[in-house]
Amino acid sequence: MMEKMKVSNNQNQPNYVSKIFNVQLHFINFLTYALVLTFGLTLGIILSFYLKECTFSLQFTQLSLSSIPKTPSLPPPIAVKQERIGLKDFLKVPPVMHDMDEEELLWRASVTSRISEYPFDRVPKVAFMFLTRGAVFLAPLWEQFFKGHEGFYSIYVHSNPSYNGSHPESPVFHGRRIPSKEVEWGDVNMIEAERRLLSNALLDISNQRFVLLSESCIPLFNFSTIYSYLINSTENYVMAFDDPSPVGRGRYSVQMLPEVSLRQWRKGYQWFEMDRELALGVVSDRIYFPVFQEYCKGSCYADEHYLPTFASIMFWERNSNRSLTWVDWSRGGPHPAHFLRSDLNVEFLERLRSKKCAYNNGNSTNACFLFARKFLPSTLSRLLKIAPEVMQFEHYDKPKKHKLLLKPII
């Protein structure tokens, strides 16, 4: 083997030289390739870094330019045009009828911004929320009340699902019924209905004050007076007092401990008026409301205790502890007085309007009551005749045969 190799080596001397030369050539080639490769790689890396920096600074320029009105229009990056939306679209108010279930609605309603200033012109509105059995039978009176104030109020109606709404309701109430459920008077499901009303009203970011009314309620002042009173108020109007009697403290149950103690237990009637902060507190309450659902049933009358107690525990600092809705309990019994057509006259209404109470932490006095109840359907025609004038409605339609009734009518 060795011999053979030697021979062959000897035989191809010039070959051998060229081979060595070839190897050297290959090595040089390889070195060149490697050098070119390394150079290319380095160049690539440097270039990619440079480009990255470039896009960063480009983005930065775009950002700083965007605040300047005249942005030089950059060529569209890709042919696909994307729909862009502004804040207005994010805040669009959904239709009153929607397909959110209870849980979804409460969750959506409790969404809020932690920045208290609005980055746009916001005209605050008052949400008038009607909790009714059937039709809002005093609607024609409310129609006169709201006339000419569009954009400053929202209306929501929660009526029993069994009510089929065939009544021709006036235009301002048209299409304002929210998805409703069965309500039994005095039952805890009444508060569920109130939370449903509040939730729907909270979906409109413009709503600032929230008033709960029934179909038998009437306004006692014109719209601008009621609007200013509520919008300018620093207080909430959830009636709350400690009633030591069996129909007060007597309805408390020790099972409500530790969330609610007897000392915290309050009573009041349900017709409230509150601001957005308290409304948010009510719809997102996951501590006290379940306690009432569980332990305040039947003769406990949750509607007379839940809100007064909740507001007194969580929001007592700004609660006036009184209601803005007048109601006559003077006749005794478990229900307040109803008013018939014959009870109504100018003096009666003026008397309710003239009652004065402390307003905004006692800094001033103002009307005690903005609303009154309970007016039966038979009062409508007389109310339409006398109320717009007494309450100085701003844009009401004057009745054709108008006669101001100054004396009580039997």
- Give one word for 332, left, alpha or beta, with left for phi > 0 and alpha for psi -120 to 50: left
236 near ligand NAG, judged by CB under 6 A: no
Cα distance between residue 53 and residue 47, in whole Å? 10
Closest CA to 280 of 131, 153, 106: 106
Least gap, CB of 168 to ligand NAG (angstroms) = 11
Q: Would you say 129 and 203 are in contact if contact means Cβ atoms under 8 Å apart?
A: no
d(CA 186, CA 298): 7
Phi, psi of 243 (to 5 degrees): -105, 110
Helix (H) or strand (E) holding 121: none
CA gap 299, 277 in Å, rounded:
30
- Tell me if 363 contacts ligand NAG by CB under 6 A: yes
Amino acid letter, residue 49: F
Residue 392's region, left for phi above 0, alpha for psi from -120 to 50, else beta, is left
Please choose, from the candidates 353, 76, 372, 77, the residue with its C-alpha nearest in 3D space to the C-alpha of residue 214.
Answer: 372
Rounded CA-CA distance 125/152 in Å is: 5
The count of residues interacting with ligand NAG (CB under 6 A) is 19
Using CB under 6 A, which of the segments 4-12, 40-48, 220-228, 397-405 binds ligand NAG? 220-228
Q: Does 389 bind ligand NAG (CB under 6 A)?
A: no
Name the minimum Å distance from CB 360 to ligand NAG.
Answer: 7
The minimum distance between CB 393 and ligand NAG, in angstroms, equals 7
Contact between 320 and ligand NAG per CB under 6 A: yes
State yes or no: residue 366 binds ligand NAG (CB under 6 A).
no
Contact string (CB under 6 A) for ligand NAG, positions 8-47, x = contact: ----------------------------------------
- What backbone torsions phi and psi does residue 400 show, to the nearest 5 degrees? -65, -55
Query: Looking at 65-73, 211-219, 222-230, 344-352, which segment touches ligand NAG (CB under 6 A)?
Result: 222-230
Which segment (8-16, 90-98, 312-320, 340-348) binds ligand NAG by CB under 6 A? 312-320
Least gap, CB of 222 to ligand NAG (angstroms): 4
Q: Which of the residues 158 through 177 are near ligand NAG (CB under 6 A)? A: 164, 166
Query: Distance between CA 216 and CA 211 in Å, rounded?
Result: 14
- 224 contributes a contact to ligand NAG by CB under 6 A: yes
* Among residues 160, 189, 206, 321, the one that binds ligand NAG under rule CB under 6 A: 321
Residues near ligand NAG (CB under 6 A)? 164, 166, 221-222, 224-225, 228, 231-232, 240, 312, 316, 319-321, 361, 363, 392, 394
